[in-house]
Structure 1
Amino acid sequence: MTENSDTPDGTAPGTTGPGATAPGPQPEPIRFFGTTWVAHDGNYGLRRAGAAVGSLVAAVASCFVLRFAYQGLEIADVGSFVGLLVVLMFAICSAVAFRKTWEGFSRRPADPAREDTLRGLKTVGFIGSLLAYFFRTFTEAPGEKLRRAEYEAAQVRFAKRRSSRTGNPSARKAAKAKKPRRK
């Protein structure tokens, strides 16, 4: 969420010219959706359908790749114990990755350092992350609810800050000084 930062072309928000934006907070773009989630415009529905199909196709293709890897282990005759460990590892990592990805759509992580340590686990369980993305696209753009709440809160803070600063404070002080006091 950007609240009054410079625009990419170097102009301040609210100024005229190319790339000028309205003053105040700007919505945070979501991957594959940009800022179309704000007003559900710009082929938002098609983007959601495309994201759902794309994540499901990627998950299915990933399952085939893992199947070929497992068949390679069988060909190498490493034993049933190693095969069982590989299957358990991918199942557990996928379950954890699904849960963490799903939670990431509704709230920001409390400890970003902990999330960085889980990055490897989520990479191994990439199928879980793809499936979480697939299921979330049925209700919204993944992360839309969180970003909408943050964006609306930023707009309220901006409006409150803006309304409390109307007028020139030094002019108010001068007007108070000119009024005679009653005794």
Structure 2
Amino acid sequence: MTTTSTAGPTSTADGAPAPRPIRYFGTTWVHRGTGYWLRRVAVSLGALVATAAGALALRLGVSGVRLSEAAPLSLLLMLAIGVCSALAGLRNWKILTEGRDSLTGWMAEEKPLAGVWLIGFAGALAVYFARSLVEAPGEGLRRAVHDQETATWHRRRAARAEREARKAARRRA
């Protein structure tokens, strides 16, 4: 039986640490079976389609401004969308590779920069697509944490078994 809480440590029935699930992948990232690869392809294609749809929506918005004969505003709007997309993409890359806890400074701001993250959604989706080509987004971070928890668990289990063996030897003697 595995607990599926993402907040605290999870464990299996024998006490071994269980991997934490990743959105869209569950825990298939641990063994990388057929289901994992199918999900990787589906997530990559979904992120690419969402990025293209978002870019099209932004393009239509800029075209609407351009049709209103406000040419300087359309150039400024395109520049703003580009900068917001770059910032949102950088922030998303850092979250996917290092975790949300590693965000500092302007990247850690949620509410004050909510407009920037909203306008830059296409950049964030493009980064998600790029990261999904390498691994399940967030997999490297989860794998490192899981490997560390597993190594700690094995060390403790070996030490416990050693203590029990010494106790048993003393009882026999």
Establish whether TM, by shorter chain, passes 0.5: yes
Q: 1:152 aligns with which of 125, 128, 147?
A: 147
Question: Sequence identity of aligned pairs in percent?
Answer: 34
Matched with 1:3 is 9
Matched with 1:54 is 46
Matched with 2:36 is 44
Unaligned segments of structure 1, at least 5 residues: 6-12, 15-21
Q: 2:102 aligns with which of 93, 102, 110?
A: 110
Aligned length: 158
Q: CA RMSD in A?
A: 2.6
Q: Which amino acid aligns with 2:150?
A: Q
How many angstroms apart in 1 are the aligned matches of 2:114 and 2:152?
Answer: 33
How many angstroms apart in 2 are the aligned matches of 1:82 and 1:52?
Answer: 34
Please give the per-residue CA displacement for 1:95-148, whole angstroms capped at 9, x wherever unaligned: 111112112222123247825355542222111111111111222111111110
Q: 1:126 aligns with which of 115, 121, 128?
A: 121
How many angstroms apart in 2 are the aligned matches of 1:146 and 1:129?
Answer: 18
Q: Which amino acid aligns with 1:140?
A: E
Distance 1:111 1:131, change over 3 A: closer
TM-score w.r.t. structure 2 length?
A: 0.78
Please say which of residues 80-89 and 53-62 is displaced more in the overlay: 80-89
Q: Which amino acid aligns with 1:150?
A: V
Larger radius of gyration: 1
Q: How far apart are 1:154 and its partner, in Å?
A: 0.7
Unaligned segments of structure 2, at least 5 residues: 1-5
Matched with 1:10 is none
Please give the per-residue CA displacement for 1:31-85, whole angstroms capped at 9, x wherever unaligned: 11111000012511111111111111111111111122112212333x2222122
How many angstroms apart in 2 are the aligned matches of 1:122 and 1:80?
Answer: 25
TM-score w.r.t. structure 1 length?
A: 0.74
The structure in which a higher percent of residues are helix is 2
Matched with 1:99 is 90
Q: 1:88 aligns with which of 68, 79, 91?
A: 79
Please give the per-residue CA displacement for 1:139-178, whole angstroms capped at 9, x wherever unaligned: 211111111011000111122233333456xx95xx69xx
